[in-house]
Structure 1
């Protein structure tokens, strides 16, 4: 199959790849959701959804690769994301691997577009269309489901990170009816000024811990006390809003319910 990628130019990939290495969690989850998990022969250390993924050998971290091990797997297709993985994908391409980068979405609709893209790449367009239709209905059902609360979102990524303009997470919050206090910020992802957060006095803080951390709610509550923030707090399960695979829509549903149960019902 010959195609032209926006970043890499002309690519020649197998028509029916059977030995796929996925280096991006969103891609791995999508392959499972499309019923292609039996074609997977390797994953990154950050690919752990669904649980069956853990049986696959680990080829890389998010940005570093075990080159000899990758060679031993004899992949006929390597799937990777853009964004943070940009340098790694360029190196893979430069070394001649059959690689296809799946773009970082700028809205939840971009997550759906990536499913369509992978369906076309792997010759399973009907399955991809069905999955997208199902997820689209779930996403549309959430439209304006919450009051226009002003919210501050914080990811724990070794320090606080939040979202501004052009982030799929920010667009998802807007879709729910919420107002991100940093919606006008020109960077999609950035380290916020915490004093500015306090000055903005959001109606709600949404905190997303790192995955697999013990007692994340207690940690988030301690942070609120340390910062002297009196704002209501909602804590996600970790790596949920930051994950842009098909499961994102279930996590968004859970967040909407959590906010409704915590704040809307009590108001």
Structure 2
């Protein structure tokens, strides 16, 4: 499920969180080195010997895709892919990891995204742990930057470039195919009910919708928030859905179609509700090219085959 940067509490409310849709916002891709100087010094490690705690699911996935999983000594509860990652000790949730557990693993480096608090990262530096903080969930191209930075940290630059090239080729094929198809007006449902969440125009998922050949009806909105009035007024052709926390696809679908005003939408009445793997689409990393293609399939249906 989607993961939203710290401070956007309503997404945490939905996902309690898994990683998502994990989203993401405004600005140019940037890497943010923390300025605080560590109080404890550790002897620098060569890349091939470095031990790492991953503080984000896409970091874990990237290390595995680079063949660098042997560096991993810790992960978060949300680092669930690939399945082999579950064998690695967890340091807690994405938003509230255990500092004590993390430090006890004695890593040389912690790799984080902007979902992790500055306070925690500064505490890690004070404990003599090097921090690589990646702020890339702004644009789709930020995915490639993330892979390159992690590849450099573990001396897998060649592997990183080959992975990126394969992804870029798949993305190119998907985008070119999508351009030949009719554009549908789409709403990407993140949550509904008391709060209506969607991939607004300032998210990289909105960019993916456009790349996949859709018109995002929430393009003009910001910060994952949309109103019921606008949803009804813009009445989309298709609604792409993700299951609510603790629910199956069908449980979420049934609740959606029985709740007003969603039950009155044309897409609901015509059965144009499609579910997508929110973990894959929200975790910017090695599976992002595959996620784009799956999104295009969800949008275009049988026309894509």
Gaps of 5+ in 1: none
Q: Which residue of 2 aligns with 1:242?
A: 282
Superposition TM-score, scaled by structure 2 size: 0.76
Q: Is the contact between residue 150 and residue 204 of structure 1 (CA under 8 Å) also seen in structure 2? A: yes
Which moved further from structure 2: 117-126 or 196-205? Answer: 117-126
Q: Is the contact between residue 32 and residue 134 of structure 2 (CA under 8 Å) also seen in structure 1? A: no
Secondary structure of residue in 2 paired with 1:152: strand
Matches within 5 A, 1:176-187: 176-185=212-221, 187=222
Q: Which residue of 2 aligns with 1:117?
A: 149
Q: Which residue of 2 aligns with 1:202?
A: 236
Q: Within 1, Cα distance between the matches of 2:224 and 2:93? A: 22
Superposition TM-score, scaled by structure 1 size: 0.86
Secondary structure of residue in 2 paired with 1:102: strand
Q: Within 2, Cα distance between the matches of 1:33 and 1:9? A: 30
Match of 1:193 among 221, 227, 237: 227
1:65 Cα offset (Å) = 2.0
Q: Does 1:82 align with 2:82?
A: no
Which moved further from structure 2: 18-27 or 60-69? Answer: 60-69
1:208 Cα offset (Å) = 1.5
Q: Within 1, Cα distance between the matches of 2:61 and 2:191? A: 22
Q: Which runs of 4+ in 1 moved over 6 A?
A: 10-13
Q: Which residue of 1 aligns with 2:253?
A: 220
Secondary structure of residue in 1 paired with 2:241: strand
Q: Is the contact between residue 143 and residue 176 of structure 1 (CA under 8 Å) also seen in structure 2? A: yes
Secondary structure of residue in 2 paired with 1:75: coil
Q: Within 1, Cα distance between the matches of 2:113 and 2:128? A: 17
Q: Which residue of 1 aligns with 2:173?
A: 141
Q: Which residue of 1 aligns with 2:209?
A: 173
Structure possessing the higher relative contact order (Cα contacts under 8 Å, 6 or more residues apart): 2
Q: Is the contact between residue 33 and residue 246 of structure 1 (CA under 8 Å) also seen in structure 2? A: yes
Question: Residues 63-85 of structure 1, C-alpha deviation per residue, up to 9 Å, x if partnerless?
Answer: 11222221221100111111464
Which moved further from structure 2: 74-83 or 125-134? Answer: 74-83
Question: Residues 195-237 of structure 1, C-alpha deviation per residue, up to 9 Å, x if partnerless?
Answer: 21111011111112257x5531342243033122231211113
Structure in which a larger fraction of residues adopt strand: 1
Matches within 5 A, 1:59-78: 59-78=91-110
Q: Which residue of 2 aligns with 1:104?
A: 136
Q: Within 2, Cα distance between the matches of 1:142 and 1:89? A: 38
Q: Does 1:129 align with 2:169?
A: no
Which moved further from structure 2: 28-37 or 66-75? Answer: 66-75
